Structures are given as structure tokens and as C-alpha cells.
Amino acid sequence: MSKIKLSNIAVLTSGGDAPGMNAAIRAVIRTALTRGIAVYAIHDGYRGMVAGGDNIMMMDWDSVGGILQQGGTVIGTARSDEFRTREGRRKAALNLIREHIDRLVVIGGDGSLTGANLFRQEWPDLIKELVDQNLIDQETAESHPHLLIVGLVGSIDNDMFGTDMTIGADTALHRITEAIDALSSTAASHNRTFVVEVMGRHCGYLALMGAIATGADWVLIPENPPEENWEDELCRALESGRDIGRQHGIVVIAEGAHDRNGNPITSTYTKQVLETRLGEEVRVTILGHVQRGGAPSAFDRYLGTVQGYAALEELLNQQPDQEPQLVGIRQHGVVRSSLVECVAQTQEVARVIQAQDFDTALKMRGGSFAESYRIFRTILRSHPNPAKPGERQHNFAILHAGGLAPGMNTAVRAAVRLGMDKGHRLLSIGGGFPGLISGDVSELGWMSISGWVSRGGAGLGTSRHIPAGRDFYAIAKNLEAHQVDGLLIIGGWAAYQGAYELFNRRNDFPSFNIPIICLPASIDNNLPGTELSIGADTALNNIVTNVDKIKQSAVASRRCFVVEVMGRDCGYLALLSGMATGAEKAYLPEEPITLADLQGDVAELSAGFRGGKRLGLMIRNEYAGGLYDTKFMSTLFEQEGGGLFDVRQAILGHVQQGGNPSPFDRIQATRLASQCIDFLHAEVGKPTPAASMIGLKGGEIQFTSIYDFPRLIEPGFQRPKEQWWLKLCPIAATMDQPPTKENSSSIK
Ligand code: ADP
């Protein structure tokens, strides 16, 4: 008898469900099929693995079509007590062996990954026991000597080591932000305080980030319990907020919040405290399972997709004696680490909190968590700290330049509060560089930007005008007249170009010899010195929500949509929205498009529709293909499609720039603005102060001199030379098209 060499792969979701799990399942399955490997889904987590039978199903390309936009997990999840027993795990091993599965992608929380590791360690013994019990033969046992495992973290709490973000946390933050924004408006109408409880037993991530993103007044998290008599401090904070005109109060509590002695702080207790001491009605809202639900955000779809793809690659490359790996994300890059260590570290934080070693707990959450906490504590105050004796007060001016980007207001609010807290005066320049040229300068107060944390648009106004010619003289005059000591320019291409022009003329205009900092805010994500710019995440979510609707509108007919998105010379929005919506194709300005390419695409579309496909989706960046514009493409596809399908175009337009900023944009805008203020504070008064671009790289904040601006951009185009996201093209291509044409037979 010939040796059995089959070695199949399976994917399961376990523990609590999380939005974005479906993207990961889809990515694992489609990547495996592209590599020619049989792949199974195990329904209902370990329970299905122990029960076997129909719970372990072979998957094909179409079985994961149309699931990207669905919340939860389409293959189900469950908790299994039987899997906690050796007997249960032996049954699970037998069920896997029957399908020749010895490689697993487990998507779950630390409990699920702990179980996976135990299963892997026991595997050789379990197999031996199955042989001893005559349940499998020796030959089969020898074909599957090891179990290989890769873990992905699906958990809304964002509570795992080894990854900056867990699958589901961003969507949960969307739900929390939407809810608190809505509560804020009703609370303001009634001058009322709300206590909002969010999920997070050991982890305050959702509570802290939710509070920052919504401008809440107070937050209680497990990692940093409040001092003794916190009740007094909380009431004082709310009262002084009222004194300066805040119309409402929002207190955010993580469900695992407790005091320094480990006694739980409940939302009911907090309500009682506030009602008794403030003598006003207080309402409690427990957000509960709403936080888990709904369509996944663009980021969670992205996260699930890239991690699912990487998990499969990792499984294919893993050696039998290699430790199981956890695939995570650091900023936008996939990272791999020891699954066992990540689980141990995660459980260590819970232990440290239990042991009331809160400093260590806060440190273990990482630098940006503690930094966010500090920023939050400053911004929420009703007054700035008094100036330190001997510190000079400086005038820092803020202006926008470039197209509108949601999050601009959030950045201004943070800069004003944090700048004033450092003892400085903050000036607004209205309407971008034209405002600086005409002298539209006024002072911003602590409360003048109240409510701006969540507001779309740009309260200061913006313009794409880049100073030239005589503008510089006018700008110099106004900088002198208003004694501007530093400039914070929050915006896109025009902001960067304008800052560079000023920097270049320092020798001609001494008043330009001040610190200048550019904060990237552009939905196009086309700026050098940063991997991401503020506004792009909101735009991406706007696109994804609208494309979901467009797709739904077409279920009854055979139709192909050509959707045009913004981005100018940069294809970021097109590629990422294509990945998040399951488009067949994303047309990018970075790649030339020939008529032959388009003919090839029509041929593929036609083959798909002939095979039963009912919906096609092509995403085109507004500049991609030059004269082959959206209308041309739509007409070509319809004409050449031979009546197999009709084609509709949808130009999304300005909805992409509209709406309130996403939680991610609000949080990053706040973080970057804080660092910009620190930068101005440090550089002001130096003989040659720096002029820089702030950015995010690998999760860290970095500064690049504006001097490098021309060197970093692609000549003739408004985009950087290096664009990290282009390396996602092969992943997008893997998900988009089935490996053989015969498979392309239903909705994506
Ligand atoms: P999460 O993965 O979200 O942390 P749980 O802790 O509930 O969720 O774990 C999900 C499932 O993983 C459990 O029902 C159980 O089947 C399995 N599991 C968890 N911990 C272990 C363990 N120590 N040993 C074996 N299986 C475990």
C-alpha cells in the first residue's frame, strides 16, 4: 500500500466572536486554494472538532463569497468543555486525522490559543493512543506525526500580546464611538451626565480609546485604578466642566474597572455617587453585545485578510519542530511571534493587575497606551495647568492646507488644549495659506474648540492654495505682526509644499526661521514621512459602507459595478477599499492600464458571469488609466460583455471626505497633535529651529525634516516614492480571482 502523504489544512474560530473573523477565514481558505491545498472549515470551534462529522467541511472558493461585510463568524464559534479534557482532544485528533488535517489556523482569544498549544504538544501521544485503540492504522499515524498551528487573535478587547490590534477591536471602537457620540447629543440637550460601561475585563483599551475618541470627561480602566477618594475628584471635574459651559458629562467605565484595593467599581455605584453629590439625574448605559455586532470596519476587514494570508504562508513554511506562531500586526506590517510567549504575557498582565501592581500593568500595555492615558488626562481638564515659573509663553499658530480631511478638527482641539496646558497661546489662521496672507488670525481659547473631537469638516477652514511670489512677503509681515513663534500646519499636499516653500526662504524672511511642523491630514494618504495620514481611515470606511450598499442593490440581476474613488495620484483608497469589499479588481494610478488589460478583464468578467456569477465589482481610482475613465470603462465592459451582464458606474465623490472622523483618525489625530506641540515647545527659541513632517511608521511616531520633502516624492506625481501598501497587491490578487476559471461562479 502506498504511503498516505495528504496533509490538509483547517481553520476554526473559537471563544468570543469578533467582527473581521470572516475576512480572516476567507483569506485562509482562498490562499490555500490558490496554493492547491485542500482546506476545511471546522464549525463551532473546538466543539465541532470534538463532534466531527458535518462540522468539518471541505471549502471551495465560493463557500466564502459575500462574507466580508458580515459581522461575527460564518463558521460559528462555541466554548467546549469537552476539549478541555484529554478524551475530548483525542476525539478531536481522530476527527482531524480522518480528513488528513494536521495543520490548523486557530482564530480566537488567549483561551483558544492555549488550548491549541496544548493540543499540539499532546498530538504525538494522542495519535499513538488512537493506534493502540485501533482507531487509525500505523501508516496513517506516520503520515501525520506532528500538528502545526498558527494563531490569529480574534477578540474585541484588544487584550493580546504579539499584535497591536486584535481582529474586532477597531469595529468595537466604531460601535462605542457611535454610541457615545449619540449619547453626547442627548446628554447635552438635558444637561445630563451619562455613565457608559464598555467591554474589557482585564483590558482598558476600549474604554480609554473610546473616551479619547469621544471627548469623554472621565475614564476608569483596570490597569490604572483611580486614587483613594476618586469620587471627590470625579465630581469636582464634572462640576468645573459645568462651570465653564460644558453641557454634558460622559464617564466611561471598563467592565473590569476596580479601585486600588481590587474592589469593583460598577456603573451603578458611579451613578449613585454622582447623583448623591451633584444632585442631578444620571443615566447608565451598558453597551454590552452591541459592541461585538454589526458590519466589520474597513480596518478589521484589512486585518483579517492580511493576517489570514500570512497565517497560511506561515503554516506552509513551518518546520515540525518549530514553536507555534502567533501572527499579529504592528502598525501595518504583519509580525510573527511565539504563540506560547504571547499567551503567557497576556495572562501575566491579568495576574499583575490582580496583584495590584498597576505601574507594571500600565507599562506592559506598551508606550502608546500610557501616553494616551496621559494625553486624555490633560485634554479632559476644564482649565490648563498654570504656567511653570520662568517658562516663556509663546504664540503657536495653527492652519490647514490641502483638501478636507476628517480628523482635522480633532487635531486642532488636541493641539489647543495641550499647547495651552504647556503655557502657550494658540492662534488660528482661517482658511489656510490665504488666511495667513490676508492676516486672518485670532486667538483660540480652551473652550473654543469644545466638541471638535468628533466633528467632521474643518472649523478653521482649508484651502489648496500654495504660497508663491508676493505671498511670502505678506506671510512674513503677518507672522511678525502676530508674533508667531511656531507653525503647526495640519493638512495634505498643499500643507507640505507650502511648509517647504517657507523653509526654503528662511534666508530671505527672518520670520520664517521658526519651528514648523506638518501633521499629515489627507484622505488620499499620499504624503511622505508617514505610512498613514489622518482622514484616510474615515474615507476608507465611507467607501466601504457605500460599496456594501451598492452591492446589496444588485442581488437580483447580473450586474457589474465600476466604482470610482478618490485618491488623486495615490491608489491607497482604491486598493484598500477593493480588498475590504471583495472587488475583482482595483485600478491604481501607480500601474499603467492598457486597452489589452481592460480586454483581459472583460474576458475574466464574462467567464465569471457565464459560470453563474451575479455581481462584479471593479474599483477605479479617479486618476487611474488616464483617458480610460470610469465612463469609458463602464461602456467598454458593457459593450464587450456580450449581453451577459449590465454595467453601472458609481462615482462616490465627496461622501468620501464627509462625515465624522473614525475612531482611529480621532485617536491618531490626538496623538500626533500632542507630539507636534511637544516638538514646537522643544524647538522654539533655538537659533535654527527644525521644520519637520511628523508621521507614523511601524507604529512609532517619527519626524522627517521638511528639507527632504522633494527627495521623498515621485517626480511629477503627488505621492511618495515609497508606498508600503503596494506590497499588498499580491494579497489582493490572491483574494480576488479564483485559481481556475471554472470556480468563479457566484457573488464575491
Ligand atoms: P477565548 O479564546 O476568547 O479566550 P475561552 O477562554 O472561552 O475564549 O476559550 C475558548 C475555548 O478554548 C474553550 O471553551 C476551550 O474549549 C478551549 N480552551 C481554553 N482554554 C483551554 C485550556 N487551557 N485547555 C484546553 N482547551 C482550552
Residue 125 identity (one-letter amino acid): D
Mean local confidence (pLDDT), 530-557: 92
pLDDT, tens only, 249-303: 899 999 999 999 989 999 999 999 999 998 888 999 999 999 999 999 999 999 9
Cell of 570: 495615490
Q: What is the pLDDT of residue 549?
A: 94
Averaged pLDDT, 660-684? 96
Looking from the CA of residue 83, the nearest atom of ligand 1 is 16
Q: What pLDDT digit, counting tens, does each position of 602-615 carry? A: 999 999 899 888 89
Mean pLDDT of the chain: 93
**Distance from Cα 108 to the centre of ligand 1, integer Å:** 9
Catalytic residues: 157
For 554-614, strand residue ranges (E) read: 559-565, 585-587
Is residue 382 over pLDDT 70? Answer: no
Residues with CB under 6 A from ligand 1: 14-16, 46, 79-80, 83-84, 108-112, 114-115, 118, 155
From 42, 105, 112, 349, mutation site for ligand 1 pocket: most ligand atoms within 8 A of C-beta: 112
Distance CA 468, CA 502 (A): 10
Nearest atom within ligand 1 for CA of residue 155: 3
Mention the CATH class of domain 169-291: alpha beta
Across 376-380, 582-586, 642-646, the highest mean pLDDT is recorded for 582-586
pLDDT in tens, 129-159: 999 999 999 999 999 999 999 999 999 999 8
Which pLDDT score, from 0 to 100, does residue 700 have?
85
Residues of the chain within CATH 3.40.50.460 domain(s) are: 169-291, 536-659+732-736
**Domain covering 8-166+296-331 in this structure, CATH number:** 3.40.50.450
Cell numbers 460564518 correspond to 74
Q: How far is CA 280 from CA 189, 266, 275, 579, 673, in A?
A: 14, 19, 5, 49, 35
User: How many angstroms separate the alpha carbon of residue 114 from the centre of ligand 1?
Assistant: 7
Task: Tell me the CATH class for 536-659+732-736.
Answer: alpha beta
Determine the atom of ligand 1 nearest the C-alpha atom of 78.
Answer: 14
Question: 342 in helix, strand or coil?
Answer: helix
pTM recorded for the entire structure: 0.95
State pLDDT tens for residues 111-126. Answer: 999 999 999 999 999 9
Distance 152 CA to ligand 1 centre (A): 14
Nearest CA to ligand 1 atom 18: 115
Closest residue (by CA) to atom 16 of ligand 1? Answer: 80
pLDDT of residue 133: 97
Nearest CA among 93, 29, 35, 89 for reference residue 61: 29
Write down the pLDDT at residue 744.
37
Tell me what the mean pLDDT of segment 366-372 comes to.
83
Distance between Cα 219 and ligand 1 center (Å): 30
Q: Whose CA is nearest to atom 22 of ligand 1?
A: 115
Q: Whose CA is nearest to atom 27 of ligand 1?
A: 115
Considering only residues 222 and 188, tell me which one the structure prediction assigns the higher pLDDT: 222
Q: In this structure, are residues 6 and 100 in contact, taking their beta carbons and an 8 Å threshold?
A: yes
Residue type for position 469: G
Of 64-73, 370-379, 409-418, 690-699, the least confident = 370-379
Residue 355: pLDDT over 80: yes
Identify the helix (H) or strand (E) that includes residue 282: strand 282-286
> E-assigned strands of 450-587?
486-491, 516-520, 559-565, 585-587
**pLDDT over 60 (residue 3):** no
Alpha-carbon distance 222 to 541, whole Å? 30
Nearest-angstrom CA–CA distance, 180 and 174: 10
* Among 55, 81, 83, residue to substitute to test ligand 1 (most atoms within 8 Å of Cβ): 83
Asked if 325 and 339 touch (Cβ cutoff 8 Å), the reply is yes
pLDDT for res 743 = 39
Residue nearest atom 9 in ligand 1 by C-alpha distance = 111
Enter the C-alpha cell of residue 116. Answer: 491549541
Backbone angles phi, psi at 406, to 5 degrees: -60, 130
Q: How far is the CA of 359 from the centre of ligand 1 (A)?
A: 29
Q: What's the mean pLDDT in 389-417?
A: 95
Residue to mutate, 17, 84, 91, ligand 1, most ligand atoms under 8 Å from C-beta: 84
Q: How many CB atoms lie within 10 A of CB 423?
A: 16
pLDDT attached to residue 216: 93
Q: Could you tell me the distance, in angstroms and rounded to a whole number, from the CA of residue 105 to the centre of ligand 1?
A: 15
**Residue 4: predicted pLDDT:** 52
pLDDT at 740: 59
Separation CA 458–CA 149 (nearest Å) = 48
Tell me where in the chain the CATH 3.40.50.450 domain(s) lie: 8-166+296-331, 395-534+661-713
Specify the DSSP class assigned to residue 225: P
pLDDT for residue 391: 80
Among protein residues, the one with the nearest Cα to ligand 1's atom 20 is 111
- For ligand 1, the distance from its centroid to the CA atom of residue 141, given in whole angstroms, is 26
Q: State the greatest distance between any 2 C-alpha atoms of the chain, in Å, as a whole number.
A: 92
Distance 207 CA to ligand 1 centre (A): 25
Closest by CA position to 302, among listed 171, 416, 391, 205: 171
Cα 446 to chain centroid, rounded: 29
Nearest CA to ligand 1 atom 19: 111
> The domain 395-534+661-713: what is its CATH number?
3.40.50.450
Q: What is the 3-state secondary structure (H, E, C) of 323-338?
A: CCEEEEEECCEEEEEE
Probe residue for ligand 1, chosen from 12, 46, 81 as the CB with the greatest number of ligand atoms within 8 Å: 46
Contact 390, 652 (CB under 8 A): no
pLDDT confidence tier of residue 616, bands split at 50, 70 and 90? very high
Q: How large a percentage of the chain has pLDDT more than 90?
A: 81
Q: How confident is the model at residue 555 (pLDDT cuts 50, 70, 90)?
A: low
Ligand 1 atom closest to Cα of 82? 16
